[in-house]
Structure 1
Amino acid sequence: MKKFFSIVLMSSLAMGMYTAPALAAQEGPISKQQQLKMINVAHRGASGHAPENTMAAFQKGVDMKADYIEIDVQMSKDGELVIMHDTTVDRTTNGTGAVKDLTLEEMKQLDAGSWFSEKFAGEKIPTFEEVLDEFRGKTGILIELKSPERYPGIEEKVAKALIERNMHKPNNKKMVIQSFHHESIETSKELLPLLPHGVLLGGGWAGVTDEQLADFAAYADYFNPTISIVTPELIDRVHAVGMKMYPYTSRSQEQAYELFSLNVDGIITDYPEHVYDHPGKNQ
């Protein structure tokens, strides 16, 4: 029998990404086999080391050998797909305003790096197509449709960009689309039936029912929750309906180690090195 214990996790950064009061994990060392099979997802790129959702952060994720870079896709005023987490540019650029109210040209004038460090001064907001063209074949791409309810037709535009590049039926399954807006994922799955899709879930889904899991599994391949609701029982139930789980967002070595112990399928992290450098790596 496996013995389970709980630990208090560190508080996370701002922007609504919080951690659980506790995660239950099995005792014992982590095997090298467990380490090697764990999928390492660089959250908004390696955002602990470079300004999030910039080409610098994505390249850092590739350099750190992450299996995927995670990107947030929104739409400009003139209908261009851009990479930005917040629905405004205020926090991560020297500009102000809602993404949907700015043209691509206006956003391209902004500095998206200085807020993080002067080392990254001049980093630009990338377009979705720029990211695809630069990193296709170099790493997996976990695409989040961010607030798609604000951008009618965004699913079709994303699908069009992927289809134009013949990236809508990848043999290596290294292209995944996810969103907190589950109806958007159902739409995207209809447009791109050969691509895996995922549902993102916040803390309010701690009591997800078996019926809800079965409904998700009808169109989603991944059930990706905040780490605040991850338990061994939930992982077993998700696996039982054929979905995988990549919890978000690990920001400490301790959190990564606990997620390893829980036997999740992947870890979404600001620090990819935590997934490859956890306390059990030499066991």
Structure 2
Amino acid sequence: MRKKLLVGTGMALSLLLSPFSQSFAEQPTVGERKQVSNVAHRGATAYTPENTIAAFDLAVDMKADYIEIDVQRSKDGELVLIHDTTVDRTTDGTGKVGDLTLEQLRSLDAGSWKGEQFAGEPIPTFQEILDHYHGKIGILIELKAPELYPGIEEQVAAALIERNLHKPQNEKIIIQSFNFESIKKMDQLLPKVPIGVLTSNRADTTLEALQEFSTYADWFNPSYGIVTEELVNQVHSLGMQIGSWTVRSQEAADFLFEMGVDAIISDYPDYVDPRN
């Protein structure tokens, strides 16, 4: 995909002032809801332990369009899936992810905290997830705290290139992060892979900030608490798409449908997809 060129301020402002479609004020139809990408946040995490095979398998069964995964690195340089920078919350172990070897990480129980039926669920590797799910469901890859893992961008890029996923079909691979410098690097390493900017900071929603993001990002992905119709219009006027997180209620999902976002990132894929 060719990255967007910076849109002039005048054009952006003129689009900002244009009236919204009446559809924003109406309840979305089933057909309109299907146009919004359904992203299972760390898998179907309302029902299963996050960032595990169980969570991703359920997301597939629930007809999500993407799974969202968090990528970090072990002490011995292996890419693994876990959200927190420590293993304390989601496993029976303790310590920083980057201080534990792959063997140590894989020996942990990453499922029992969610329910005994998930006992023994391991922490997956990045390569394992790519091999198991590409072609079955889209993968939204978040680089989690990449500043802790120098060179992780090159490792992620190499894993995708090895599997010929650096030229994704139908944009089914997206890479995002809260670390803007890391994402800029990913754009340089994988110019054909869509790039997303994550933020919960209102300072990142100014027209000036959005124009800067649009020079290297394809997606602007804010927390739903800062989403407005004006913001959605601004993002679209600059040639980007917008995906918002983290939805944990039907009311939040309905709000984002009404705002006209392009993707909804949710612990509950069934709140987003009318077929569930």
Provide the TM-score with structure 2 as the length reference: 0.90
1:265 corresponds in structure 2 to 262
Letter aligned with residue 61 of structure 2: D
Q: Is the 8 A contact 1:51 1:57 kept in 2?
A: yes
Q: CA deviation at 1:209?
A: 1.9
Q: Is the 8 A contact 1:2 1:27 kept in 2?
A: no
1:77 corresponds in structure 2 to 75
Can you give the 5+ residue segments of structure 2 that lack an aligned partner in the other structure? 1-18
1:31 corresponds in structure 2 to 29
Letter aligned with residue 153 of structure 2: E
Name segments (4+ residues, structure 1) moved above 3 Å. Answer: 1-4
Q: Check if 1:223 corresponds to 2:220.
A: yes
Question: How many positions carry a matched residue from both structures?
Answer: 258
Judged with a 3 Å threshold, the aligned counterparts in structure 2 of structure 1 residues 107 and 207 are, in CA distance, closer, same or farther, namely: closer
The answer to which structure has the higher helix fraction is: 2
Letter aligned with residue 158 of structure 1: V
1:20 corresponds in structure 2 to none
- 1:46-83 per-residue CA deviation (whole Å, 9 max, x = no partner) reads 10110000011011101101000000000000010000
**Structure-2 separation of matches of 1:68 and 1:29:** 24
**Structure-2 separation of matches of 1:268 and 1:206:** 22
Structure 1 residue aligned with 2:238, among 232, 236, 241? Answer: 241
Can you give the 5+ residue segments of structure 1 that lack an aligned partner in the other structure? 5-24
2:11 corresponds in structure 1 to none
Q: Is the 8 A contact 1:206 1:229 kept in 2?
A: no
Q: Let me know the Cα RMSD of the aligned residues.
A: 1.8
Q: Check if 1:251 corresponds to 2:263.
A: no
Trace 1:95-134 onto structure 2 (pairs within 5 A).
Answer: 95-134=93-132
Letter aligned with residue 265 of structure 1: D
Letter aligned with residue 70 of structure 1: E
Q: Is the 8 A contact 1:68 1:139 kept in 2?
A: yes
2:202 corresponds in structure 1 to 205
1:168 corresponds in structure 2 to 166
**Structure-2 separation of matches of 1:194 and 1:248:** 24
**Structure-2 separation of matches of 1:215 and 1:26:** 27
Judged with a 3 Å threshold, the aligned counterparts in structure 2 of structure 1 residues 2 and 209 are, in CA distance, closer, same or farther, namely: closer
Q: CA deviation at 1:32?
A: 2.5
Q: Is the 8 A contact 1:259 1:267 kept in 2?
A: yes
Q: Check if 1:184 corresponds to 2:165.
A: no
**Structure-2 separation of matches of 1:43 and 1:207:** 22
Identical columns (%)? 58
Provide the TM-score with structure 1 as the length reference: 0.88
Q: Is the 8 A contact 1:252 1:274 kept in 2?
A: yes
Q: Is the 8 A contact 1:73 1:144 kept in 2?
A: yes
